[in-house]
Amino acid sequence: MPGVRAQQKEKTRRALIQAAFKQLSANHDFSNLSLREVAREAGIAPTSFYRHFKDLDELGLTLVDEAGLLLRQLMRSARQRIALEGSVINTSIETFMDFLTTHESEFRILLQARSGTSDDFRAAVSREIMHFIAELSDYISQSQKCSHDFAFIQAEAMVKLVFNAGAEVIDMAEEQRRLVADRLAIQLRLITNGAAVTIKQLSAS
């Protein structure tokens, strides 16, 4: 019966990934992660780790990819909600904030990788953020009928403010979060409103 072996392997691979995610928190970031601790948490011998990843870094990149994938799926669902409910900014923020609470570890690794030590990590999460910007940029350029470049600049500012707010909010209680979210909503609106005015200035100059 072929496949039993591969099945089991995948299972402990998941265990390693889960173990790594579990150890990520506000007080224990990826760079403080140890191969031995992760292996222990996953219930395997330290040396068995190498049967699945050549490095801790390789595991880390897997985490980043998974977190990014999850967040992108979320974005897609958000856009569907937008089509139904209308309000772009509010639903986007709401969905994003949901993600923070339901997938805390996943967001944490994106944050940590963004400002972390490894070039590969930073590149990976930068790529991920670029995806968001590109998608939002498309949306803006066709809904505002403005140039792609100008849409990009707006989208970049908005995505970065959102991520920033996420970083700020992740260690806060629910009540505090609302305040940040409300301010964020206004800030995003400042940008879209400002775009309508500024585009005239730019084309006039």
Partner DNA sequence: ATTTTTAGCGTACACTTGTACGCCAGAAAT
Partner DNA sequence: ATTTCTGGCGTACAAGTGTACGCTAAAAAT
Binding site for a copy of itself (CB under 8 A): 26-29, 31-32, 111-112, 114-119, 153-154, 156-157, 160-161, 164, 167, 183, 186-187, 189-198, 201-202
| DSSP secondary structure code for residue 27 in this structure | T
Work out how close the CB of 161 gets to a copy of itself at its nearest, in angstroms, rounded to a whole number: 6
Residue with smaller CB distance to a copy of itself, 90 or 192? 192
Residue with smaller CB distance to a copy of itself, 114 or 131? 114
What are 98's two structure tokens? 């949901």
Say if residues 129 and 166 touch (Cβ distance below 8 Å): no
Residue with smaller CB distance to a copy of itself, 15 or 181? 181
Work out how close the CB of 84 gets to a copy of itself at its nearest, in angstroms, rounded to a whole number: 24
Residue with smaller CB distance to a copy of itself, 73 or 147? 147
Residue with smaller CB distance to a copy of itself, 85 or 168? 168
What are 185's two structure tokens? 């909503």
Which residues form the interface with DNA (CB under 7 A)?
1-6, 8-9, 11-12, 34-37, 43-52, 55-56
Q: Could you tell which of DNA, a copy of itself, none binds residue 179, using a CB distance below 5 to 8 A set by kind?
A: none
- CA triple 181-185-191, angle to 5 deg: 140
Spatial separation of the C-alpha atoms in residues 19 and 166, rounded to whole Å: 23
Q: Helices (H), strands (E): how many in the chain?
A: 8, 0
Q: Could you tell which of DNA, a copy of itself, none binds residue 181, using a CB distance below 5 to 8 A set by kind?
A: none
What are 44's two structure tokens? 């395997």
Q: Specify the 3-state DSSP secondary structure of 75.
A: helix
CA 48 to each of CA 6, 43, 108, 148, 192: distance values in angstroms, whole numbers, following the listed order: 15, 10, 26, 49, 52
Q: Could you tell which of DNA, a copy of itself, none binds residue 142, using a CB distance below 5 to 8 A set by kind?
A: none
Say if residues 152 and 64 touch (Cβ distance below 8 Å): no
Q: Could you tell which of DNA, a copy of itself, none binds residue 148, using a CB distance below 5 to 8 A set by kind?
A: none
Work out how close the CB of 3 gets to DNA at its nearest, in angstroms, rounded to a whole number: 5
